[in-house]
Structure 1
Amino acid sequence: MSVRLFAVAAGTEDLLQALLHTHLERIRAGGTLRPLARYCHDAATGTAGPYRVAFAVESYTELEKQLEAVRAGEVERIPAELATRRPPLVFVFAGQGAQWDGMGRELIATEPVFRETLHRCDRLVREFAGFSVVEQLGLPPETARMDELDVLQPTTVSLQIALTALWRSWGVVPDAVVGHSMGEVAAAHTAGALTLRDAVMIACRRSALLRRIAGKGALVTTELSPAEAHALAEAGGGGIGVAGENSPRSTVLAGDAPSLAALVDELARRDVYCRVIKATAASHSHYVDELREDLHTALRSLVPTPTRVPMYSTVTSEPVPGTDLGAAYWVRNLREPVRFAAAVENLFAAGHEVFVEVSAHPVLIGPVRQTLESGERQGWLLPSGRRREERRSVLSSLGALYACGREPNWAALSPGGSATALTPYQAAVLDAVRLPRPVPAEAAG
């Protein structure tokens, strides 16, 4: 049975609890129940209000247990005031590190919009890079080429674009976007500055050039603050540079292998976390300099357009005009340090409180949380996928967005399940808790 999203709302907490009790009693009573998909659709479309509860379930047994947990106060709830305020939403596009064997397969099998968008990307990747994203995702790890940069990066960008299309089909669109390194490609496309063709071209040509510097340097991730990382780099005599500032206590360093090996040993003696990043090249370092001219030439055909939603650059940390995202920008994207923490700071300062990471598995939620916590601020951080539970993860996050005031496209979640008038069961539930009935679509206006 496929995972579904159960969601209900009410005008007050008391009415919400009464509604949950009504659902719980009906399920406990047994008897003939509608298919779970239809039951969840009717529950969501039959109620309204700022007091909201939503969670992913795969069976009536699981739905009963979840309802019991909510009624008992065992589930952390998003405050109703968020549904009233509807805080702005940011899509956060990850770089490398989120990949896992089997990613994308569940959504390819269950979500037509995701599958169709991925196939559109696949056709372009075949044209620019000569391999099939869909085929690579379906191969076992011993024969797949995901350890090769020029396969992994176009595949990752394609997955991010397909996830964004899925979110949009469900009625979820961002108020701003930000991307980490390679993630800026999908971010720029989502913002409207790049066509799909140009986004895929950048991903393919950027990663193909990166192969030329593979093995010439290395990257390490550390639990150093940006200030500590820069101090170490300055003391390293040029062998090490700061490649990324992910949070106030997370940085990435790039450099030659001997210098980084000595650094790892030194930090280990100081009990500071430090790990070499495998299967990558020393991007955001001086090793990229030899690629500058060729990358600019490879992307000279780009004609970016103004963004439709703000894109916060992790090159500058500020909103970037879409028309600036030509070849010269992507050279900077590959060469300069990733200023992710500063971009998140600026997003929060602009009023953004909800962050959805668009990746196959969350790798940036931690740095976003650390950045917000450093300023004693609270945000709502949600994944678009997790290892081995893709659909459940993305639906759970959709439920959290619903609790934050977003209004999903319920018909898209249950194709063929949209109704213009209340079903008898919806009417009975609403009568039981004395909620106002929504106006049928044909009577509105």
Structure 2
Amino acid sequence: MDGVPWLLSARSEQALRGQARRLLESDTSDVPAVARALSTTRSAHRHRAAIGGAGAQHRRTALAALASGGAADGLHVARATGQRLALLFTGQGSQLPAMGRGLYETFPVYAQAFDEVSAQFRLGTPLREAVFEREDLLDRTDYTQAALFALQVAQFRLLSSWGVTPDLLIGHSVGELSAACVSGLMPLADAAALVAARGRVLGRLPAGGAMVAVRATEEEALAVLEGRADRVGIAAVNGPRSVVLSGDEEEVLSAARELAERGHRTRRLRVDVAFHSPRVEPALAEFRSAAAEVRFGRPAVPVVSTVRTAHAMDTPDYWADQLRGCVRFLDAVREARGSGATAFLELGPDTVLAPAAESCLPGLPVRPVSLLRRDHDDVRTAAEALGRLHTHGVEVDWKAVHEGRPATPVRLPKYAFQGRRYWPEQPAETQAAPAPAPVSGAAALEGVL
């Protein structure tokens, strides 16, 4: 399968370089076949490397760098240790036309899950058509939220089929509904109905709202918002210096100008609703009624809340608060880290939350990665994200990744054993000691007695 990285491993750094040198001496022209053989017929030792990129020459350049102990584009080297994986589910604003098409066309597990989830929604245009063919519909809130939910549930199902098991889940805005569904907190049909209700009630809100991303601390933003709490608020705290303002357009733009004058960078978001602001309050009663129909269960994987609320996640009031309240992503990521999370993988159409998580937790042992990226091949991006996590010790069933595709036999080199000499060295010659003087028979007897 195209896109799967070459995975090498060894018991030591020296042996890993030796493995690279041996592979360089082999025929690696069939890139997918070599990738499959390396990932499914070799044991995974502690010292690991993943080599990605398109084409054999690109990978051989990275392989040569590994053999010499250097660095190269597409080469990632790490020492595998036990990892606790947290999945991040992106919210609205990350949607892209035809998002996930590569996964849909390549992996039956993904396609079946996406179709199953899409069938839960009763929209004027079928959801699959809206995602793959109707760019004009994808930015409408009722379609956007359903499409992101379908994409993320299908991505989760695909990861599960590959043996990737998360320890924690975090969802941003509507992404928290995706997390709640795959965790087992909500059945699929109930979660989809709540997503549909969310898109419906938000889509009916009147125009006149705005959202602006600001590079500032929460405290710096609150200082500007004083006296405006009924018209504008902080919709999200995405990092130590990353907040989003939301509310009445005039007030939001006025606060943004004031922050810009104080030296903070601002960017208006392309949205049709002022999410997580006072403007959504007219929608809360209807949405709370929809949440009351959900049959809550016990999650198999913990979901880290992004909301400050006194209500438990398995109550309608929680989800009403989640619709209105600030998305406290920074707090959730830090809580996940405090609970032992060491690796973060973003599910969604682009890399949005992965860099945000990195800014929240500088010095993470494993750099957060995204399953998909804008303007990148879907299959290669997903496979390389898994390859990077694999080098750090996240478990992946590579045989399942390749399942259903013909295997081409490949001769791989034998393990690069690091020979050591264990035979004792011959001692250096020493001068012979003088022979003892002869003794008489009586003296010899005295020595025995």
TM above 0.5, one fold? yes
1:74 equivalenced with 2:68 (yes/no):
no
1:364 is aligned to 2:353 = yes
Match of 2:414 in 1: 430
1:54 aligns with 2:50: yes
Q: 1:224 — aligned with what?
A: 216
Map 1:14-413 onto structure 2 (within 5 A).
Answer: 14-27=14-27, 35-44=30-39, 45-72=41-68, 73-75=70-72, 77-80=76-79, 83-84=80-81, 86-126=82-122, 129-139=123-133, 141=135, 144-236=136-228, 238-316=230-308, 324-373=313-362, 378-389=365-376, 390-413=378-401
**What secondary structure, in the 3-state scheme, does the structure 2 residue paired with 1:125 have?**
coil
| Cα distance change, pair 243–19 in 1 and its aligned pair in 2 (3 A) | same
CA drift of 1:52 comes to 0.6
1:296 match: secondary structure: helix
Q: 1:58 to 1:173 in 2, by over 3 A?
A: same
Q: Is the 8 A contact 1:38 1:417 kept in 2?
A: no
Q: Distance in 2 between matches of 1:147 and 1:242?
A: 22
Displacement after TM superposition at 1:123 (Å): 0.9
The change in CA–CA distance for 1:216 and 1:417 in structure 2 (over 3 A counts) is: closer
Aligned partners of 2:406, 2:340: CA distance in 1, in Å? Answer: 34
Report the alpha carbon displacement of residue 58 of structure 1 after superposing the two structures with TM. Answer: 3.8
Aligned partners of 2:222, 2:410: CA distance in 1, in Å?
Answer: 66
**Distance in 1 between the 2:53 and 2:5 partners?**
6
- Conserved? CA contact 1:38–1:414, under 8 Å: no
In 2 relative to 1, CA 424–363 (structure 1 residues): closer, same or farther, beyond 3 Å?
Answer: closer
Q: Secondary structure at the match of 2:245?
A: strand
Specify the code of the residue in structure 2 equivalent to 1:174: P
Write out per-residue CA displacement over residues 38-93 of structure 1, whole angstroms, 9 at most, x where no aligned residue. 3212112313211111133443233322312333411464531xx13x22110011
Alpha carbons 2:33, 2:410 under 8 Å: kept: no
* Matched-pair contact (CA < 8 Å) for 1:222–1:272: yes
| 1:264-299 deviations in Å (ceiling 9; x for gaps) | 222333331112211231221122221121112223
2:213 counterpart SS class: strand
Residues 221-249 of structure 1: CA distance to partner in whole angstroms, max 9, x if unpaired? 11110111222222436332111111110
1 or 2, which has the higher helix percentage?
A: 1
Is contact 2:83–2:394 with CA below 8 Å preserved after alignment?
no
1:330/1:67 CA distance change after superposition, 3 Å? same
User: What runs of 5+ residues in structure 2 fail to find an aligned partner?
Assistant: 420-449
- Match for 2:17: what amino acid? Q
- In 1, Cα distance between equivalents of 2:2 and 2:134: 24
Bigger Rg, structure 1 or 2: 2
Give 5+ residue unaligned stretches, structure 1. 436-445
TM-score under structure 2 length normalisation: 0.86
Instruction: State the distance in 2 between where 1:388 and 1:276 align.
Output: 23
